[in-house]
Amino acid sequence: RYGIVVVFLVLLATLTATLPQFRTTANVSNVLQQNAVIGIIACAMTFAIISGGFDLSVGAGAALASVVGAKIMIEAGIPLGIVGALAVGLLLGLVNGTLIAYAGINPFVATLGTATIVRGLIYVSTNATPFFGVPMDFTVVGLGRTGPIPNATIIFLVVALFLAFLLHQTRFGHYVYAIGGNIVAAAEMGIAVRRVKLAVYALVGFCAAIGGIILTGQTASGQPQAAINYELAAITAVIVGGASLGGGRGTMAGTVLGVFLLGLVSNALNLYGVSAFWQPVATGLILVLAVGIDSYSRRSVFAWR
């Protein structure tokens, strides 16, 4: 139950003891800032995975929010740009939720399809060219700091706390667990399964848009190629944090630890001088290991039964 905590503390202690540059304030701040967007997306992804699904369109959704938000900011100002970015992210989430909950399409097929369509539309509409000209004042969102803490990290923590409350302390969160644990029993108990699933994917799309807004603040531009493979990193963080791909299990605290565990691994590879091309390999290996452990634990439970 507490394996992720032990692994995280051991890794943290090892890096602190063996890498003097890891202990610097600048490096710690860099780790916090670089993992904020993945963290926000992963926290929302926790809902989808606990409910028995997942969302492969979050990277495309973040890129869409970045491009749309940047375009509107350049032409109409920052507030409207933020609203526009959040609106398109929410719309994408509602489309995913409708396809999955009401059309009965498998989450893998539905979200992979929307991800491919959205990426294609972004490239066609922008000619794969970034939108420059976002007001430099907006970089305070992605690059600014409040004291020693990056603003992006503060946004991540606020989102994580809100989603933790929503998941663990509200009826909606209990419904998500119930649907992931046994969707038939949940329906027989009177839970509006379709509406809950629709709300889950709308939440994921909305949070992906928040991530896209932060990415815009980090580059002062709308990047069509933003958030590539973020869906893999987010799903990995959730699974490493103790959630089950079979649904019905997971915690927000575990997801946050999973995000920072992956962040520490990536940071350690950089500090040790390992090529950046190996970082996706490390992420993939961690994902396979985590899913393997989850599958083994589930088989063990069924064996006892």
- pLDDT tens figures, 90-126: 999 999 999 999 999 999 999 999 999 999 999 999 9
CB 214 within 8 A of CB 37: yes
Rounded CA separation 221/148 (Å): 25
pLDDT at position 82 is 96
CA triple 227-29-73, angle to 5 deg: 45
CA triple 123-151-208, angle to 5 deg: 35
Rounded CA separation 57/105 (Å): 15
pLDDT at position 123 is 95
252-271 and 36-50 helices cross at what angle (nearest 10)? 140
pLDDT at position 286 is 79
Rounded CA separation 174/149 (Å): 33
List pLDDT tens digits, range 15-52. 899 888 988 989 999 999 999 999 999 999 999 999 99
pLDDT at position 142 is 92
List pLDDT tens digits, range 162-174. 999 999 999 999 9
pLDDT < 50: residue spans in the chain: 301-302, 304
pLDDT at position 153 is 96
pLDDT at position 124 is 94
Three-state SS string over 124-135 comes to: HHHCCCCEECCC
Contacts for 278-282: CB closer than 8 Å, 24+ residues apart = 280/229, 280/232
